[in-house]
Structure 1
């Protein structure tokens, strides 16, 4: 994938990962870039999240630095000092201010960063920056991911490119996902902030791998204006096209995260229809998506619609169970809260596919929502039983 104009990237191995794989990446804009971000809602927030929240308030940035293999979370004052040192060290090499460097980390929680390795990695990554460095950056931010995740789109004369990592600790409300989007479009900050918030709501905040929110989740977007277009604001003719292109990139990255979920064998769409509002529909779909029992059943292609209704009942929504319909694999297995006319054998056959749909009719209104999740396999348990050992 080609980077938008005015951006360079790199990825190097500095020794944070025992495997020796790349573990530190940088994206740099040659021009000051308008910046916006969305962060984890977990009350326990990693040092780089705290620092980057402060830096991005200025609305401008030049660089994103991200390490994998160590989350720098729950590391006390030393951890915050280390995050700040990362920004300062990168800033010196890039000849910019430390406030214009956005720092990110992902990996094991509760272990101090090896700053000697990090500083060496930042130096090497700075020297390796290239307009052809997109693939290296995408590889350097991976943890339990099995493959890099990238997406791109165009808007008028400009391009948008996105990168993400995440395979576990994924839940709605920004959950260990990191995502970085860069564009050479000139975009007014007001529109950038609003468009990012809207896109994340229907993409990154509408996926769940395990219902666990991370301490480090961060979604950043930089717009440097190198395409030399007239700045896109809310009333600009390209405003709608920019929103659509940004959403296209976010949606692709979010789906790739679910497809690469730890131990996953299926991508599951939880579709809720007939809710009273989009918020209620998302709440219902998210609650069902987080059901461990349902996701175990889907791993075994078991058309157990009772798991769906039971999960929905914990959502806190005052619905009438006696009117709810549930389809699994296209079969109406539950009608008005009781066994439906669908064929369970056909449902089971459909649940063997890679892409599976669970559809719920609440009959309360006209609002709909879809949350993507996946099945829960023995491999997920194995991966997380051995994460630090």
Structure 2
């Protein structure tokens, strides 16, 4: 489909949301379209960036990611302090499930070649593997949510928010100090002669930070991916009679139960997920399909299994690269700082498994 009729469909959907649902949901759709467009047009890939740092000692994408975190924190932390009852941080409890989930997610995202946002926007670009992984990711996320009580029983502590604990200025200073340490580590690892500046990626980082700030203001919560996926699968399982949410710890929680019972377009995460898909579609509209290497049956099987496990582990880890790292760290959640080293350790194994399976890139 060419870009003009696709843009007309998105515009019609926007008007329909504003008229029949709410102005907030319509605005969140536009935020999602912006996020998807920036991700797709700049190829801002969290998964590939980590892989390039490890294999090619190329720090450019990681430096852009750290820039995104700093910019998003500069926007989000003052807002959270100014409006503590209206806006919520992306807090997750430090727990055994977080340690296991982040490690497994970091491993599987390399084989699946995409995290939560990467799977979304690459599916929008028409990449066959990511298009096929998307429903499996949703199924895995749902099953992970349904088993959360068992995982949390293994050990957890209450979420820790730096803004609530220290205040916005101190929290931002601590966050920037941590980001500087990570940037220096990436530069030292890559070597002195390796370029670290990529104008396209840094512009994408700033644009994403602004859009994340808008998402926080409009939705009252940071940008997320995983919850929407799990919700879609939960709705299907409930409607088909295979799942009774009232008998499940996670989905019987008042907030989750209410969202599950509502029309899916009332869910803020679902709307931005749809927007990300639409934004990527708009970028790819009228262009030849995204070039993707031909996969062997073994590679297809590995990718699909990884996609399912990635969805499962993302729920255990209280988010993917977006919900746990970028939204978590930028809003002062300690669990985001735990997520990063655990996922990076998993990625160290994942990139080697990827090479063993002869995936390109």
Range into which the TM-score falls when normalised by the shorter chain: under 0.3
TM, length-normalised to structure 2 = 0.25
Structure (1/2) with the larger helix percentage: 2
